[in-house]
Structure 1
Amino acid sequence: MLASNFAKDVSTRPSDAARLLPLLLLPVLCMFTACTRSEASVSAAPVPAHAEPVAHASELLALKLDPAAEQRLDLKIVAIEADETQQRRQYAGDVIAPAGGDGTYSRFPSATATDLLAISRAQIEADAQIQRAKAQLDVAKAIHQRAVQLLEEEAGSHLDRDRAQEQLDIAVANLRAAQSQRDLLGPAAVQLGEASSLWLRVPVFSGDLRDLDIAAPARIGEIGAPISEQQTEATPIKAPPSANSALSSVDLYFALPNTSGRFRIGQKLGVALSLRSDQKLTRIPWSAVIQDSHGGEWIYCRTAPQRYLRQRVQVAAVIGDHALLQRGPAIGTAVVVQGGLELFGIEFGVAH
């Protein structure tokens, strides 16, 4: 009887969980409402900078900044200018031995230091051959003179005299041949380092010849030195043509003054060659140029108020704190010279 009454009471009484359920759900509903309001407030906040795809170049993005962001970046803008200085292009050249008349160096002006060592050995052997030929000639002359004297005294024969004459003619021919072979080897290689003027061979890509003034003097300096520090001038000279078909290059030759003994055969030098007057370059501060991980060169141009676009350029040379552009935007284009790295970070999502 007691058990049945207890079961009936439990079945008719509401459970504790059912009474507590509204209280448990109330905090969850409050948190959801707060998150919804927070997301709405964030989405409504203005974005200081964002990137927009460019229609004509899918890999580039046009950056749009609001005035406050532009002020925080402290961007400095200058216009691209025409370069009025003498325009030059940088190459590398090799100091070689000067040509000596019709000698070896005039036929093979691109001889390297290793080649000169082999030539020196050949010259020594040729000098020794001349000395042997001279000694043989002296002996042949003495034999011929003795044969003639015996014939005059009727103590010798015409046959002995003719044989002596034959040996004399052979000795003279051998000496002439040895001297001719020595002449082909040119002046002594050991004296070339003491020459007051050497030659400079400059390999140039064949496609660059149309842009170069090959009749103008070249500016010479240490390899890698800026053009402004290359003060020594080398005069163009005529030399037997040489080229490298594998590298699509041709060689230009210059007379290099060496009165001070500063230069050595085989030395590598930096060479600045003049461009033709119709090759116009533009100039911007070097700080405006940004290099990517692949070595590409870029600048940021202001295309409209608060709008910036990254454009590719080709730097021909760097003189002081300015870069000379061979290819790039037109003269007068507004370029970012301070803050370009920050724009690069905005475009690619990288903090600087």
Structure 2
Amino acid sequence: MFAPTVFVVSSRIALLGLLGCAACGKGEKPKAISPSEVKNPVKESELTTVVITPEAEKRLGIRTAVITSDNVRATREVGGEIQAVPGQAVTIVAPVQGTLRGGASLTAGQRVRQGQTLYSLVPLPPERDLLTLNQGTAQARTQLQVAQARLSRAEDLLADRAGSVRARDDARADVALAQRALADARARQGAMSGSTGGGQALPIKAPLSGVVQRVTVAPGSLVTTNTVLLELAALNKVWVRVPLFVGDLRRLSAGQTVTVRPLNGGGARQARPVEAPTIGGTAGTATADVFYEIDNTDEAFRPGERVVVDVALGTANATPGSAGATAATTRALTIPAAALLYDASGGQWVYVRTKPLQYTRQRVEVQRTVGDQVVISRGVPAGAEVVTDGAAELFGTEFGGSH
């Protein structure tokens, strides 16, 4: 009667044993070991709060501005190239063939004034006269030899009392004339080869005040007509060439200025449009060149320099550059440019007043600059108070640069 019951228990025991063995066969996987471990990590926001005293706040002259969402004019940031104003960049060439004198101190980048003598050019005869000059010199040399031989015979005859004093004097005069003719022939030949300083030198003067762009010859060189001597550019005013997408040409207002900024982030300045063909550009890029003029009396910009140009755009017009272009605006968060700080890695930051006498440094992302305002895409919300005056002092206080 008990055999079935014993069988069931035994089966259960066997089944549990089999499951236990299967579990023992799998084993546990070892935990992965990290090659490094950061203990007590601190969030970035907990490292960027500066608490100061009322006296320090007054001493630092801290002022704040509220971040607002404003209508910002649509702009396009494009690259531009500085160029010399046409007609204000000249190439100085040799008017005639000759030998250059002076100009030893002329180097690229040197400033010269209008009317300053750059070179002295000793003109040379035409090349076709070279053979004639050589023949003339040889003939004058032969004539001198003949005259000297006559003088020698006249002196001998006079010594033997067979000649006259007059014949001797005539022979001496012939020798003097022959010597003079030979000297003149040699001077002409030397001027032709540029080996002497004879001849009337022509002064080559600077037609305008500017900067030497390129020097192509050395002093003492023998140059031919129209040989390029140097390039000179006036830099009191320069043009900036801006390749714009042809679709944006209809969004430019007549007389609309642009902002030109160096690539190193230096001082920006305004440039006004000039009458120049809005054609050209690079083939295949659907761009056209627009030109603007910059007052460059301090010579901050040089021809060939690359710059950043902020072009304000309006709504599309029927005629490119029409006076009736309407300004296109978008809503964006703006902060004063004085509130923006940069760290050593180029990160962009602002200080936000979170509590009285408490300022928190927060990272922002700048979209573009519009005048004295900076458009930000993220980082701080509207309504926050950012530090304008005294932001750099807070930055130095945080990192130990001021006390």
TM-score (norm 1): 0.38
Higher helix share: 1
TM-score (norm 2): 0.34
